[in-house]
A and B are shown apart, each in its own frame.
Chain A
């Protein structure tokens, strides 16, 4: 569904991605794990057209989408929930949702879609007229995830959705992602909370120094001692040579 072929890229003159390659199948959840600064978020930016890509290719359902703009990626069926807080603080919850569909051609359909999404996240309906900045961190994250659903994406890029969320909300978000997967949406997610994320994922991918090091079924990665070691801050190489 999505394939990265030997991507090199970074910020200005700094290269962060050093030949990142991987491939994920349709209607699956893949969790990217790896140490801080490994380039996980950078991979997402590369896919979504926010990064200077020096070389390599990104294929979406076989089509080369390398170097497209975010708007073009949205039109191709990709939405992105970045790390951190990403709401428009002074706009209402409803208008934040509406912005998620700003590129939609059919605005009437969009209004119906907003209603559906608010059915899915009743909190958003309750607070629809509140300014987004007045929501708690967890509520803002739900708003962001809901906003990314409005356009019925084929592929969702979700960067560390669980940060700042209570364990119950994390479960909710993961369940939402699983439901989406069951409806055919492909999900690529980054998670610090690797154990619980892998538990709900189909595949796991370990990224280190801008390269995909391990890529396997989530259950296998969970059981792999090298992955356990990685979570404690080690490197795969050391483990392999040890």
Chain B
């Protein structure tokens, strides 16, 4: 029983990091119909920004990490929107999707070429200790990751619901025509969304990379998981993406123990298929579309 509890907790921990990527994915879709197939690479890259700043340039970690987040906001947020999304979306959703796939490959190959094709050790922010709760052994990094990732998502929700800018962003996502006639600066709101996605990806990157190593190919599964989590959650809701991320984290961890490793990779996909079959609108999704 305590083993099961342990697995649930570590599942929630990785799941909350998946949720960061899935929430960002959902935000981009809502605000600009961008399906970002480079999202996995967006989570892979900031870890290398941290490494480049700390290992190559000698910045202390406490400085390298916030700098990497800022760089991610600029590169994965502002530049991504200006250089990839804006020129491509004019031609439709499909060309944009293809462009994001290409961008993913480009980021991956660039890291491989210019940094290293080998996995790099990545510093953890937290002591690798454990605490015992109700007989279950739980690692401190698991707890810390969960608290930070959930904290970021809760803060995002509070911002979107509790500030005028956040509500303007919601209006832009839910009904851009109305937002425009009320005088909302919809271009700026969309830009904010891209910047937030860059920040979420960077936080996810810093939290998840110590669990593995920093490697150019880290985005391959992460991107798929973010995509599946977003769909499972209903694709158009932050809460849905959160639930989807947590669910996949838990399934992932349970299956690592109870199911042969060979099938483990397939489980998120099986979850996806099951959800699409029984609840096409996603777990928390509503079938109603945009109202214009």
- Residue numbers of A with Cβ under 8 A of B are 48, 50, 70-71, 74-75, 80, 82, 84-91, 95, 98-100, 102-103, 107, 133, 147
Contacts and interface: CB of A to CB of B under 8 A. Distances in A.
Interface residues of B, number: 19
Contacts of B180: 50, 70
14 contacts: A70-B180, A70-B183, A74-B183, A85-B291, A86-B177, A86-B181, A89-B291, A99-B167, A99-B184, A100-B182, A102-B183, A107-B164, A133-B291, A147-B182
B185 interface: yes
A45 B158 CA distance: 35
- Residue of B164, B175, B178 with highest tally of chain A CB at under 10 A: B178
Contacts of B175: 86-89
A103 B181 CA distance: 11
Describe A's contact surface by its main secondary structure: loop
Contacts, number: 59
Interface of B: 164, 167-168, 170-171, 174-175, 177-185, 288, 291-292
Contacts of A88: 170-171, 174-175, 178-179
Nearest to B236: A90
B292 A102 contact: no
Nearest to B165: A102
Contacts of B292: 84
Describe B's contact surface by its main secondary structure: helix
Contact of B183 (A71, A86, A90): A71
A48 B178 CA distance: 13
The 4 closest A-B pairs by CB, nearest first: A103-B183, A71-B183, A88-B171, A74-B183
Given A85-B291, A133-B291, A70 B167 contact: no
A16 to B, nearest CB: 18
Contacts of B182: 74, 99-100, 102-103, 147
Contacts of A98: 164, 167
Contacts of B177: 82, 86
B179 A99 contact: yes
Contacts of A91: 167, 170-171, 174
A99 B181 contact: no
A102 B168 contact: yes
